[in-house]
Structure 1
Amino acid sequence: MNVFVIGLGLIGGSLSLDIQEHFVDAKIYGIDVSENHLQEALEIGIIHEKATFSDLEKADVVIVSIPVDVQLQVIPEVLDIINDDCLLIDVGSTKEMICTVVANHPKRRNFLAAHPIAGTEFSGPKAAIKGLFKNKTNIICEVEKTAFKLQEKALEIFSTLGMRIRYMDSKSHDKHIAYVSHLSHISAFMLGKTVIEKEKNERDIFDMAGSGFASTVRLAKSSPAMWTPIFEQNKTNVIETLNEYIINLQQFKELMENDNFPEIYNEMKNTNYIKQILNGIK
């Protein structure tokens, strides 16, 4: 099985490592705009060979793991090249725009829109992790538009890597993911910004920062090159989530100003219910 991975960062690299481990016949070819990433991926065993777009004709599976704005150009180009039996999977964090772009492509049936909900704040080939996707949810959008035999091929890969599958339309995906992923990244970035600005005058802040602060701002270490296009493509949904978040922050601030700490206690106690929700999806 000839597997081409376009974009050799955390997600693309981790998929490559897991596919190699579970599919012994898989030969992994890497394509990346960064020659340094390509060489690094080759040296640490993420890929077996470097490749270019001209090699895609021999692909059985192509995985596209690049910033979502670049996907809009790259995925139609890849569809133009691949053979009729090849499966093309995109693993980006937004889905509606890319599904719209490929909607009328002659090889739309070869395309599967997927979003594995897994990752860390790190990027580049060295960020790749074996077993990253085990027991993680993978959202598949518009599955009915993918050829059935290629659906089967994709599900074999996903299930072998240990993923749980959810099906969703692209609009719902982008709306829901704005709440559970995109908003949390914005929160981390802005909390980090707030503390950095304050730290200019109060040098002891980071000396006092504990594990709670570190875990809260962990996502602020994520790649701006990846996340700016995500926010742009999902702008409407992200703004909606921000409006709701800001209202809750403002209400909390007003409770503080009014010394209404019994209600603050109730707010936090009611929100503790999220522990049950998160425990249920592990």
Structure 2
Amino acid sequence: MNVFVIGIGLIGGSLVLDIKNEYQNATIYGIDNSEEHLNKALALNIIDKKATYKDLDIADIVIISIPVDVSLHVIPKVLDGVHDNCLVLDVGSTKELVCKSVENHSKRRNFLAAHPIAGTEFSGPTAAIRNLYKGKTNIICEVEKTAFKLQEKALEIFSKLGMRIRYMDPKSHDKHIAYVSHLSHISSFMLGKTVIDKEKNERDIFDMAGSGFASTVRLAKSSPAMWTPIFEQNKENVIETLEEYIQNLQHFKLLLAENKFDAIYAEMENTNHIKQILNGIQEVKLQ
């Protein structure tokens, strides 16, 4: 089985590491704009061989894990080069524009739009880790437009990697993910910016930052090259979530200014319900 990964970073690299572990007959080919990334991926045994787009005619599976703005151009190009039984997967964080980019392609049936909800704040080949996807949710969009035998191939891989599957239309995906993922990254970036702007002494930040601050700004270490196109493609939904978030911040500020600490207590107590939701999610993942 010839598996091509385009973009050898955390997401794509982790996927093929697990595929290599589950499929002993898999040969992993890497395509990346960075020669350094290719060499590092070879050295780390993430890929077996370097490749180019000209080699796609031998691919059985192609995993596209690159910034979402680049995907709009690369996915049609990949579909042009693969044979009729090849599965082409996109694993980006936005789906509506990607699905539109291939809706009229003659090989649309070869394409599966997926979004594994997994990751860390790190990037590049050295960020790739085994078992990243175990117990994680993988959202699949427009599954009915993918050839059934290729759906089966993809679902077998996802099952072996331990992923839970959820189906969703692209528009709903982008709206929901703006709340649970994209807003979190913006909050983290802006909290980091606020502290850096105010606390000019880096030693003060180092000495005084507790685990709460560290965990909250963890996502601010994420790649701007990946996240800027995500915010651009999902602009309308992100703006909507930001407006609601800002309203809540302004409300909290007003309660503080008016010394309404009973109301602040109530707000926080009501929000504590998030613990039950997250604990429920964790329990489902462990089943």
TM-score w.r.t. the length of structure 2 is: 0.97
Cα offsets for 1:174-204 (capped at 9, x unmatched)? 0000000000000000000000001116852
Partner residue, 1:92: 92
Partner residue, 1:17: 17
Distance in 1 of aligned mates of 2:256 and 2:206: 25
Cα deviation for residue 106 of structure 1 reads: 0.2
Alignment of 1:229-240 (within 5 A): 229-240=229-240
Distance in 2 of aligned mates of 1:200 and 1:40: 36
Partner residue, 1:101: 101
Stretches of 4+ moved more than 3 A in 1? none
- Which is further off, 200-209 or 223-232? 200-209
Cα offsets for 1:261-282 (capped at 9, x unmatched)? 0000000000000000011111
Distance in 1 of aligned mates of 2:233 and 2:173: 13
Cα offsets for 1:238-271 (capped at 9, x unmatched)? 0000000000000000000000000000000000
Structure 2 residue matching 1:204: 3-state secondary structure: helix
- Counterpart of 1:193, as a letter, is K
Alignment of 1:107-256 (within 5 A): 107-200=107-200, 204-256=204-256
Unaligned residue ranges in structure 1 (runs of 5+): none
The yes-or-no answer on 1:274 pairing with 2:274 is yes
- Counterpart of 1:136, as a letter, is K
TM-score w.r.t. the length of structure 1 is: 0.99
- Counterpart of 2:139, as a letter, is I
- Counterpart of 1:38, as a letter, is L
- Which is further off, 193-202 or 61-70? 193-202
- Counterpart of 2:180, as a letter, is V
User: Taking every aligned residue pair, what percent have the same amino acid on both sides?
Assistant: 77
Alignment of 1:66-77 (within 5 A): 66-77=66-77
Cα deviation for residue 206 of structure 1 reads: 3.2
Cα pair distance change 1:19/1:201, threshold 3 Å: closer
- Counterpart of 1:162, as a letter, is G
Cα offsets for 1:138-195 (capped at 9, x unmatched)? 0000000000000000000000000000000000000000000000000000000000
Structure 1 residue matching 2:130: 3-state secondary structure: coil
CA contact (8 A) 1:199 1:206 kept: no
- Counterpart of 2:40, as a letter, is E
Structure 2 residue matching 1:281: 3-state secondary structure: helix
Aligned length: 282
Cα deviation for residue 207 of structure 1 reads: 1.4
Cα deviation for residue 232 of structure 1 reads: 0.0
CA contact (8 A) 1:60 1:85 kept: yes
Unaligned residue ranges in structure 2 (runs of 5+): 283-287
